């Protein structure tokens, strides 16, 4: 299995370019020839890797939901015995990494989720629900005064805040990745603190 330090596989390159192009021009605004050209292969050559654009979209959207859930579970395992506040900070940091580094996937999810086959869309929703519930459990440890429905609403609100990154200014005009990440982190913690305030 490839590690994150390995060069991306051809399949990963295709998915990255497909995500970028779909986010820029919409799913129906991009042809397989354009995706192929972006990675230096013929459009028909893509069919050695994917059955078609629908399969690419499904792998992108199911894949990112699975990746977020897997990453959150890993962070919880690594934080065993750590104060709940630090665990929440770790979850926030992980989601911020996604929000800053995978902005096209946020746009894709917002625009194209309904294009998935029912089974794929249900899988995305199932993975997302599990991800939310991990957060709710941690948020309630940090803010025990929050009832479960309020904690869940707060988690969804923070996701909305963090997932707003595609609407930020172009990356070159942002204050820098580190400063943007710090700002998002402070805003997320502030939102949870406000939700837990009486």
Q: What is the pLDDT at residue 25?
A: 94
Q: Are 121 and 113 in contact (CB under 8 A)?
A: yes
Rounded to a whole number, what is the distance in angstroms from the first to the last CA of the chain?
A: 49
14, two tokens: 């295709």
pTM listed for this prediction: 0.89
Mean of pLDDT values over 45-66: 94
100, two tokens: 């800053």
Q: What average pLDDT does the structure give for the chain?
A: 91
- Residue-wise pLDDT tens digits, 158-185: 999 999 988 876 655 667 889 999 999 9
Sign (positive or negative) of CA dihedral 64, 66, 72, 75: negative
Mean of pLDDT values over 111-124: 95
> What percent of the chain shows pLDDT beyond 70?
93
Can you tell me the distance from the alpha carbon of 18 to that of 109, in angstroms, rounded to the nearest whole number?
Answer: 13
Q: What is the DSSP letter of 40?
A: T
Query: What band does 198 get if pLDDT is binned at 50, 70 and 90?
Result: low
Q: What is the DSSP letter of 7?
A: P
7-50 and 53-196 agree in CATH topology? no
Pick from 35, 42, 43: which is nearest to 16 by CA?
35
| Angle made by CA atoms 5, 6, 10, in degrees to the nearest 5 | 140
Mean of pLDDT values over 94-112: 94
> What are the angstrom distances between the C-alpha of 103 and each of 16, 22, 139, 172?
11, 12, 25, 14
Pick from 110, 99, 66: which is nearest to 177 by CA?
99
Residue located via tokens 């929703």: 125
Q: What is the pLDDT at residue 2?
A: 35
- The residue with greater pLDDT, 81 or 172, is 81
Q: What is the pLDDT at residue 8?
A: 81
Q: What is the pLDDT at residue 39?
A: 93
> What percent of the chain shows pLDDT beyond 90?
81
Q: Where are the domains of the chain?
A: 7-50, 53-196
Query: Among 2-16, 44-58, 121-135, which stretch is predicted with the lowest mean pLDDT?
Result: 2-16
Give me the CATH code for the 53-196 domain, please. 1.10.357.10
The reply to whether CATH 1.10.10.60 applies to domain 7-50 is yes
Q: What is the pLDDT at residue 174?
A: 61
């Amino acid at each position: 299995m490839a590690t994150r330090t390995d060069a991306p596989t051809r399949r990963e390159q295709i998915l990255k370019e497909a995500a970028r192009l779909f986010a820029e021009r919409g799913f129906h605004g991009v042809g397989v020839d354009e995706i192929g050209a972006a990675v230096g292969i013929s459009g028909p050559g893509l069919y050695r890797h994917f059955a078609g654009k629908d399969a690419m979209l499904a792998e992108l959207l199911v894949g990112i939901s699975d990746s977020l859930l897997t990453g959150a579970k890993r962070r919880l395992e690594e934080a065993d015995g750590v104060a709940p506040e630090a665990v929440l900070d770790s979850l926030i940091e992980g989601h911020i990494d996604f929000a800053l580094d995978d902005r096209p996937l946020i746009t894709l999810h917002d625009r194209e989720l309904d294009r998935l086959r029912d089974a794929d869309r249900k899988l995305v929703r199932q993975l997302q629900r599990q991800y939310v519930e991990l957060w709710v459990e941690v948020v309630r440890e940090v803010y025990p005064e929050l009832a479960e429905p309020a904690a869940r609403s707060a988690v969804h609100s923070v996701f909305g805040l963090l997932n707003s990154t595609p609407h930020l200014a172009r990356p070159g005009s942002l204050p820098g990745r580190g400063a943007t990440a710090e700002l998002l982190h402070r805003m997320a913690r502030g939102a949870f603190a406000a939700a837990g305030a009486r």
